Amino acid sequence: MMPGLSRLLHRDTESGGFDVAVNRAHRYLVHVESGLLGRIGVMVRDLAEQQGADRLVLVADRGAARHHLPAVDAVLEWSGLARETVLVPEGESAKTTDGLDLLWHALHRAGTTRRTLVLGLGGGVVCDLTTAAAATYMRGIPYALLPTTLLAQVDAAVGGKGGADYQGAKNLIGAFHHPVAVFVDPELLRTLSPHHLSNGLAEVVKVALIADPALFALLEDGVGRELSDLPWEAIVRAALRAKLDLLGPDPFEQGDLRRLLNLGHCFGHPYEAVSGFRVPHGEAVAAGLAVATGVGLATGRSRAQDADRILALLTDHRLPITMPRELRPRVWDELDTVRRVRNGVLHLVVPRSPGRCTVVDDIPRSAFDEALARLDTWSTR
Ligand SMILES: NC(=O)c1ccc[n+]([C@@H]2O[C@H](COP(=O)([O-])OP(=O)(O)OC[C@H]3O[C@@H](n4cnc5c(N)ncnc54)[C@H](O)[C@@H]3O)[C@@H](O)[C@H]2O)c1
């Protein structure tokens, strides 16, 4: 069995109670290889053996299923495991407690026990739902992921964050529960629309800006090429390495790491929210990265040539670098709400240059306005 060691340590307290410490070690492999799908049946069989699992529940969204379920079904024959398939609707609207209920119900119907392995096939929505369902069903059952969108391959499939949206708020319900394996096959991205590719690319640019100047340069090399022609295996592997490096010291995202990974989201989340979630997450993050870059310029924290590189990369990959004028005051109002919740501090992450970011406690409204004015000028050059 893959080591998943737990220790419960306790000692008596002076008041006659117990001081309890829980240590858990959990390891898993993230396989990254173009064409990996062909070997997944055997890999899942070995994984099930390690986990002591004797059956499989495959969870897929209808979009991923349309393109990849027949091939996945065919290779899973090699696992020799009894299996059930559950289809969930595609898109963010499925990431609700109703979506979770659908999965719990299917797991129950399939006679799921702790000896059942769940495998999620799809984008970030399936990764989040599968993780949350596996975290909660029988207080935690093993699961693996086979992510099929760029966003899921570089971000949602690793880190163990599961969740569902609730009452209009993103990811309000959820839990940390790490997978037992992740199978990343960049070949699966070939069927992804350019829109969803560039959506995921925003998160790749984010992680490159935080931690990996070489990845940033690799993305710059791709400028002028069709998105489908980029070296996705190298990009996905580098983005995953950067994310895992960042998660290393803080796997439950409780410290400064969370702040850094918030790059682009400080402005992107409010923008996404005030657009009524009509602006896709990746586009909102890209605009948020651009505004953070503009803030760096407006407050003298970034140099013009570094800001130029960041803005050029975003525009060259057809990602937005600004926000509609009519929404800007509302974005600022949203930031004000966040500021109040955080006792007057915003913790804005500002990129200085690829691989170097800084956290700024707060900015005045004038810096936000100036950042957007600079982006307007930059866009019309
Ligand atoms: N858990 C985390 O750490 C984390 C990190 C980032 C984002 N997320 C979450 O991820 C979600 C967004 O994920 P997403 O952008 O992958 O969206 P998504 O899961 O909705 O997938 C986008 C669309 O692509 C389709 N699709 C999936 N794979 C395909 C393929 N190979 N070819 C063609 N179409 C395919 C899907 O059916 C869907 O219609 C959000 O809910 C976000 O909150 C989670």
Give the tens place of pLDDT for each residue, 355-372. Answer: 999 999 889 999 999 999
**Atom 30, ligand 1: which residue's CA is nearest?**
192
On the question of pLDDT at 1 being above 50, the answer is no
Residues 260 and 219 in one domain: yes
pLDDT averaged over the chain?
Answer: 92
Which tens digits make up the pLDDT trace of 94-134? 999 999 999 999 999 999 999 999 999 999 999 999 999 99
Verify that 289 and 146 share a domain, yes or no. Answer: no
Q: Looking at the structure, do residues 370 and 256 belong to the same domain, yes or no?
A: yes
Is 174 found in the same domain as 226?
no
Strand partners, 175: 162
| 163 and 209 assigned to the same domain | no
Q: Which pLDDT belongs to residue 74?
A: 96
Residue 257 clears pLDDT 70, i.e. is over it: no
In a domain? residue 92: yes
Tell which atom from ligand 1 comes closest to the C-alpha of 131.
1
Both 166 and 244 in one domain: the answer is: no
Residue 30 lies in a domain: yes
Instruction: Report the atom number in ligand 1 closest to the C-alpha of 150.
Output: 16
| Residue 18 domain-assigned (yes or no) | no
Would you say residue 1 lies in a domain? no
**Regarding predicted confidence, which is higher, 381 or 220?**
220
Residue in 165, 196, 258 to alter for ligand 1 test, most ligand atoms within 8 A of Cβ: 196
Task: Give the number of the atom of ligand 1 that is nearest the alpha carbon of residue 162.
Answer: 1
> If you measure from the C-alpha of residue 193 to the centroid of ligand 1, how many angstroms do you get, rounded to a whole number?
12
- Check residue 338 and give its pLDDT: 83
CATH label of the domain that carries residue 117: 3.40.50.1970
Does the pLDDT of residue 9 top 90, yes or no?
no
Q: Which residues of 313-336 are buried (b: 16+ CB within 10 A; e: fewer)?
A: bbbebebbbbbeeebbeebbebbe
Give pLDDT, residue 3.
Answer: 46
CA 91 to centroid of ligand 1, rounded, Å: 7
Q: How confident is the model at residue 213 (pLDDT cuts 50, 70, 90)?
A: very high
Which segments of the chain does DSSP mark as H helices, in order?
40-51, 62-76, 97-109, 124-136, 150-151, 194-211, 213-221, 232-247, 256-261, 265-274, 281-298, 304-316, 328-341, 365-379
The percentage of the chain sitting over the pLDDT mark of 70, rounded to a whole number, equals 96
CATH number at residue 227: 1.20.1090.10
State the average pLDDT over residues 275-279: 87
Of 148, 173, 191, the position where a domain reaches its end is 191
Q: How confident is the model at residue 182 (pLDDT cuts 50, 70, 90)?
A: very high
**Contact 204/195 with Cβ under 8 angstroms?**
no
Domain end residue (candidates: 176, 191, 206): 191
State the total domains in the chain: 2
Closest CA to 186 of 214, 131, 220, 146: 146
Q: Is residue 81 part of a domain?
A: yes
Do 276 and 372 fall within a single domain? Answer: yes
Whether residue 210 sits in one domain with residue 134:
no
Q: Looking at 191, 215, 246, which one is the last position of a domain?
A: 191
327 lies in the same domain as 203: yes
Cα of 52 vs centre of ligand 1, distance in Å, is 30
pLDDT the model gives residue 254 = 59
Position 160 pLDDT exceeds 60: yes
**Binding-site residues, ligand 1, Cβ < 6 A:** 61, 63-64, 67, 90-92, 95, 122-126, 128, 148-149, 151-152, 155-156, 159, 161, 188, 191-192, 196, 199, 281
pLDDT at position 290 is 97
Structural domain that includes position 329: 194-379
Pair (122, 49) in one structural domain: yes
Give yes or no: residues 28 and 49 share one domain. Answer: yes
Domain membership of residue 210 (yes or no) is yes
CA of 66 to the centre of ligand 1 (A): 14
* Minimum CA distance residue for ligand 1 atom 23: 91
Residue 199 to residue 251: CA distance in whole angstroms: 25
Check residues 246 and 32 and name the one with the higher pLDDT.
32
- Asked if 200 and 84 sit in the same domain, the reply is no
Ligand 1 atom nearest the C-alpha of 159 is 3
